Amino acid sequence: MSPGFRGSTTAPDQRHRVVGRGGDDTLVPRVSVGLCLRKGVFTVAGVQAVLEAVAEPRRREILRLVRVSELPAGAIAAHFTDVSRPAISFHLRVLRDAGLLAERRDGTRRLYRARPEGFAEVRAFLDELWADRLDVLRVEAEKEERQKQKRGR
């Protein structure tokens, strides 16, 4: 394996079922992959879950609603007049499972608040992409500066 990369597969008999577009089932091995970065560690599955969660506009709106203060599920659902409460519950579950929402129970109520740290894996992934590009830019800028200094002598 390359440096900074670690991956493992489960035993060959541990597979999960994926349903194809035509309805046919396919068994594929479960793979756990993690990338070690200069500033953090992220898993491909973690980044994927967060990106899929925020791809839905209503979920992004839910995150905006609970960004500053905790709200009960009913208040969140009331904000969306065109969507059923079960649909909002589904969106809340997706966001919670992706690590973007914290859920707290207060009696029978469920209160939700945003978890900015849930974006840490995506941030690490994007930081790594930027760091690589910035390194290339730095090298090119230094090379150009050296050429200017040689011409100026």
User: According to the model, what pLDDT value does residue 33 have?
Assistant: 39
How many residues are present in the chain?
153
Report the pLDDT averaged over residues 52-78: 96
Report the pLDDT averaged over residues 32-42: 47
User: According to the model, what pLDDT value does residue 127 have?
Assistant: 84
User: According to the model, what pLDDT value does residue 138 have?
Assistant: 85
Tell me the domain boundaries of the chain. 50-116
- For residues 107 and 122, what is the distance between their CA atoms, to the nearest angstrom? 34
The SS3 assignment for 26 reads: strand
Indicate the fold that domain 50-116 takes in CATH: Arc Repressor Mutant, subunit A (1.10.10)
pLDDT of 28 strictly over 80: no
Predicted model pTM: 0.61
Q: How far does the chain reach from its first CA to its final CA, in angstroms? A: 47
Identify the H or E element spanning 107: none
- For residues 145 and 153, what is the distance between their CA atoms, to the nearest angstrom? 13
The SS3 assignment for 69 reads: coil
User: According to the model, what pLDDT value does residue 69 have?
Assistant: 93
pLDDT digits (tens, 9 = 90+) for 71-105: 999 999 999 999 999 999 999 999 999 999 999 99
